[in-house]
Amino acid sequence: MEQNHKQDEQSDLYAGFSTAYKSFATEAIHIGQEPEQWKSMAVVPPISLSTTFKQIGPGDHAGYEYSRSGNPTRNCLEKAVAALDGAKYCIAVASGLAATVTITHMLKTGDGIVCMDDVYGGTNRYFQRIAAEVGLKVSFADCTKPELLKAALKANTKLVWIETPTNPTMKVVDIKACSEVAHEYNKDIVVVVDNTFMSAYFQRPLASGADICMYSATKYMNGHSDVVMGLASMNRDDLYERLKYLQNALGCVPSPFDCFLCNRGLKTLHLRMERHFKNGMAAAKFLEADPRVERVIFPGLPSHPQHEVVKRQCTGCPGMITFYIKGELKHASAFLSNLKLFAIAESLGGYESLAEHPAIMTHASVPENERAVLGISDTLIRLSVGLEDEEDIIEDLRQALDAAHPKIK
């Protein structure tokens, strides 16, 4: 009886969403992990710490020369991620921002980038304060409206950068519509989707027309808050050859140990994301019903402005929630300071629940006037809902709201 109830809950949670990707868990566990590639027949890929590899003769090697150029442990991870993204290729780099920098290095002085207006603060900072200063022409557009993206495209536009859902205001972009707009304007424009929030389990940007799917794997893809890493997947041979060259030439590669940990994290990605969705939905519904909360932004709720887009292009939702608490900065601070289960910390996507204040923490580098336009106000709070028991998560949110607004129940 209890099992049937859980199955009914699961069906209701995923009602209307796209069908889950076939054999996702099987591919996460087996692709790139074949024991036959090792003389030892190890079931778990070993950590190859060697920086250099013996050659049979000068220039005659067994696939590896120097660990920056290629590493067996990294190779296992890249094959697995490519499979989960429905891609031919993947490169792993030292961080999400390293992926952003590596991709942007495909451009030259004078080339244009159109970026989603609401993005991770580090992405905004890199484009505005570094890329723009070395001669790239950067502009921002609200890509939730494809017509605004179309209006922003110019003859020199070479890269369209989409983040969906966005960080921190959880806007959702129609990847297919925006990819079509960009490619109709110029087939050579490279459309990049930052898929960090959704992970490969809930969204496949390449299947919707994007050219590159990238991640801060630090978040959900690794899922244990113990690795800093970036990933980029693609199907086009030319993009892979260029990015593989840049991966080696720029040198921002991850360590074999981090590759091992992230590869291990992928094995439970499907289980973790399902629990994140369940807990996230429960927390979002609780907050939306609470009189001390002004507004909740969670893509899984019907109240989300792009809820229909989410259901069309995703197979579920992560545990990311943004909400506005009623009052002012002191109320947001009181809420955060009184959390007991949630830790006040940057980052997201780990098994533990985290909470943060974007205007003061992750998006402090975004100019204040831009934060105001985007809605990153003093009362905005971002939650990364973890894998704890649902009732404990709800209770922690309740008692923190009680502390922030003791006179409103």
SS3 33: coil
Its pTM surpasses 0.85:
yes
Q: How confident is the model at residue 391 (pLDDT cuts 50, 70, 90)?
A: very high
Is 264 a known active-site residue?
no
DSSP letters, 204-228, are: -GGGGT-SEEEEETTTTTT-SS---
| Vertex 18 angle, CA 12 and 20, to 5° | 85
Of 14, 21, 120, 201, which residue is the catalytic one? 120
Type of residue found at 318 = P
Burial 12-25 (b: 16+ CB within 10 A, else e): ebbeebbeebeebb
Q: Which residues pair with 91 in a beta bridge?
A: 232
CA 346 → CA 218, 219, 337, 387, distances in Å? 12, 11, 14, 17
Of 118, 142, 174, 194, which residue is the catalytic one? 194
Element (H, E) at 32: none
- How far, in Å, CA of 47 to CA of 265, rounded? 15
Q: What is the mean pLDDT of residues 230-237?
A: 98
Q: Which residues pair with 140 in a beta bridge?
A: 115
Report strand pairing: 380-384 vs 320-325.
Answer: antiparallel
**Whether the predicted pLDDT of 2 surpasses 60:** no
Report strand pairing: 343-344 vs 354-356.
Answer: parallel
Q: Which residues pair with 197 in a beta bridge?
A: none
Q: What pLDDT, on the 0 to 100 scale, is given for residue 408? A: 79
* Nearest one of 194, 211, 202, 215 to 115, comparing CA atoms: 194
* Nearest one of 51, 82, 56 to 68, comparing CA atoms: 51
**Whether the predicted pLDDT of 180 surpasses 70:** yes
Is 68 a known active-site residue?
yes
Which pair of tokens denotes residue 72? 């067996």
- List CB contacts of 240: < 8 A, sequence separation 6 or more: 88, 89, 91, 234
Q: What pLDDT, on the 0 to 100 scale, is given for residue 367? A: 87
Is 219 a known active-site residue?
yes
| Vertex 372 angle, CA 366 and 376, to 5° | 70
Report strand pairing: 343-344 vs 137-141.
Answer: unpaired
Q: How confident is the model at residue 15 (pLDDT cuts 50, 70, 90)?
A: very high
Q: How confident is the model at residue 10 (pLDDT cuts 50, 70, 90)?
A: confident
> Whats the size of the chain, residue-wise?
409
Of 79, 219, 278, 382, which residue is the catalytic one? 219
Rg (CA), the chain: 22
Element (H, E) at 144: none
* Mean pLDDT over each residue of the chain, to the nearest integer: 96
Element (H, E) at 139: strand 137-141
Is 272 a known active-site residue?
no
Q: What is the mean pLDDT of residues 114-118?
A: 97
Of 64, 68, 267, 351, which residue is the catalytic one? 68
- Structural contact between residues 190 and 159, judged by C-beta atoms closer than 8 angstroms: yes
* Nearest one of 185, 189, 161 to 173, comparing CA atoms: 161
Q: What pLDDT, on the 0 to 100 scale, is given for residue 61? A: 94
